[in-house]
Amino acid sequence: MFLNQYFPWWFPTFEFIFFFLYIAGLVLITVWLCNDTKTTRTGLRVAIYLIIGSIVGSVIVVIIYVSVLDKQFVMIGTGDKGDSDNYDKQPKSWYLICYIFTGILIIVLAMFYAFTIE
């Protein structure tokens, strides 16, 4: 996302922060898998909150980005703006729907995991 010249600087930056929160949740789950103790079980709840929070935050950032975008399309790709082969146009609605659907899917799976560990 940082190499996409059509994205403003704040969009990939926030997405990167949420990505690290998601990874932190996955690390806590991996720590529990390697060593099952009472302390690491508490980390499972924190991991689920990190994963759900990062997905919700990421979707909110995408909604804000699509809302402030003046054009009807989101340019997907990397490289120089001048080369038409580097980017593909994707409708704003399709871009938003894909993010929301994927986010809901991950949140449902994370909540299922949270209910399972309880």
| pLDDT score at 27 | 94
Look at residue 43 in the predicted model and tell me its pLDDT.
Answer: 85
Sign of the Cα torsion 74, 79, 82, 84 reads: negative
Domain borders along the chain are: 10-117
pLDDT digits (tens, 9 = 90+) for 42-59: 888 899 999 999 999 999
Output the six-digit token pair for 53: 């929070």
Tokens of 49: 């909150």
* Helical H segments across the chain, by residue range: 10-34, 38-68, 92-117
Q: With bands split at pLDDT 50, 70 and 90, how would you rate the model's confidence at 68?
A: confident
pLDDT, residue 87, reads 86
* pLDDT band (50, 70, 90) for residue 75: confident
Record the pTM: 0.82
- For residue 118, give both structure tokens: 């309880």
CA atoms within 13 A on the CB side of 65: 24
